[in-house]
């Protein structure tokens, strides 16, 4: 009989995790969200809005995120069981309550709205979270604002956009099932500041100031944008990282190259005319340009060109996809570049010290 004792994840478990990875939503949301606007770093928010990079959590972590959705359903049921009127979906659309600002470039989704709480008869914005025991203890000790400034900013902006004056913020401890609830009062002045911040992030042509100039700063050390912000990695390739694109005040994105308004699908796909925004090439500065290329001079004094796909692949000419694929700065070393030219190859991965 086969030994059924295994300590590594069984194939069944691996298949579950794989399912979550395959079914994950796109890493890039179309708008800047209220759940993000309280983040400590302006530059991180700019990178997020311009789809410069993203995390790809493993299936186990994605399943953990799904646990939060399950808990939302439980809390809605619990509130209704004690007589609170809860709308977790908009009756007019059958979907989550959503509100937008800045032409639609900024958005907020609510977990729900409720009325009939013991504490007050006012309508409340509802926000539900989960936490482990250690963090839950800190929440009870410090309160929401200190515990998680992003969650706090989220509900202030949510109340402002939804026209509500109170929030019931509820957090469940995943280990003990204890519930912590905190009522938050509207603060229009502070909410307006967050909306002003969103406007700066969305319509700035340049990356904004980062939270620290030190790559080993704790908030930078674990940031998914560190390689782009403090390192030498070129951003991902899509319309939002292209020099030709612009977020417009009416909520659209336009392309100057094709004189077109871009759908979200088109923004994700990009096109062969992509030229990387020079601000997203951290190891070089632009020195010249043509309609089909940007010439760069690296901080070490070397030159190379970012050219559109389909153009003649001359020596030290790289598409945006090649620039992103390289893990270390281009141009490639002479021997590698010679091989690339000889065989008409493309950069799919490159590390100078490899």
Distance CA 50, CA 66 (A): 26
pLDDT at 342: 80
For 299, what's the count of Cα atoms within 13 Å in the CB-facing half-sphere? 6
Q: Could you give the CA distance from residue 29 to residue 68 in angstroms, rounded to a whole number?
A: 19
pLDDT score recorded for residue 7? 59
| Predicted local confidence at residue 315, as pLDDT | 77
Q: What domains, with CATH codes, occur in the chain?
A: 29-203 (3.90.320.10), 232-343 (no CATH)
Sheet hosting strand 106-109, strand order edge to edge: 32-33, 106-109, 98-101
What is the pLDDT at residue 313? 61
The pLDDT of residue 12 is 87
Q: What is the mean pLDDT of each run of 10 residues along the chain (354 residues)?
A: 60 83 75 97 98 83 74 96 97 95 97 97 97 96 97 98 98 96 98 98 97 96 95 96 98 97 95 97 96 95 91 79 93 87 81 65
The 10 Å CB-count burial string (b at 16+, else e) for 41-53 is: bbbbbbbbbbbbb
Cα atoms in the 13 Å half-sphere on the side-chain side of 190: 16
How confident is the model at residue 133, as a pLDDT? 96
Residue 3, classified by CB atoms within 10 Å of its CB into exposed (0-12), middle (13-18) or buried (19+), is exposed
In sequence order, what are the beta bridge partners of 344? none
Query: Tell me, what's the pLDDT at 205?
Result: 96
Q: For residue 297, give the nearest of 281, 280, 284, 306 by alpha carbon.
A: 284
CA distance 145 to 150: 8
């Amino acid at each position: 009989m086969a030994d059924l004792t295994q300590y590594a994840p069984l194939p069944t478990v691996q298949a579950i995790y794989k399912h979550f990875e395959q079914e994950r939503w796109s890493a890039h949301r179309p708008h800047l969200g209220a759940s993000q606007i309280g983040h400590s770093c302006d530059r991180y928010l700019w990178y997020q809005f311009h789809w410069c990079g993203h995390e790809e959590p493993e299936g186990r972590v994605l399943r953990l995120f799904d646990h939060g959705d399950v808990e939302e359903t439980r809390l809605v049921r619990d509130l209704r069981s004690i007589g609170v009127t809860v709308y977790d979906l908009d009756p007019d659309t059958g979907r989550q309550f959503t509100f937008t600002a800045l032409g639609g470039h900024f958005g907020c989704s609510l977990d729900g709205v409720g009325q009939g709480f013991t504490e007050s008869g006012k309508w409340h914005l509802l926000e539900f979270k989960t936490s482990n025991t250690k963090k839950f203890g800190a929440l009870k000790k410090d309160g929401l604002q200190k515990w998680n400034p992003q969650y706090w900013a989220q509900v202030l902006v949510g109340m402002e956009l939804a026209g509500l004056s109170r929030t019931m913020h509820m957090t469940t401890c995943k280990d003990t099932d204890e519930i912590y609830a905190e009522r938050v009062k509207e603060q229009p002045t502070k909410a307006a500041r967050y909306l002003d911040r969103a406007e700066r992030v969305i319509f700035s042509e340049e990356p904004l100031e980062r939270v620290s100039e030190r790559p080993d700063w704790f908030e930078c050390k674990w940031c998914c944008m560190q390689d782009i912000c403090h390192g030498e990695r070129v951003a991902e390739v899509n319309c939002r990282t292209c020099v030709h694109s612009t977020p417009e005040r009416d909520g659209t994105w336009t392309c100057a190259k094709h004189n077109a308004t871009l759908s979200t699908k088109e923004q994700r796909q990009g096109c062969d005319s992509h030229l990387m925004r020079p601000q997203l090439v951290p190891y070089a500065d632009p020195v010249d340009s043509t309609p089909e290329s940007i010439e760069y001079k690296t901080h070490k004094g070397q030159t190379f060109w970012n050219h559109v796909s389909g153009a003649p692949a001359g020596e030290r000419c790289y598409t945006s996809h090649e620039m992103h694929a390289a893990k270390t700065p281009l141009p490639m070393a002479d021997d590698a570049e010679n091989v690339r030219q000889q065989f008409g190859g493309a950069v799919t991965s490159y590390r100078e010290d490899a």
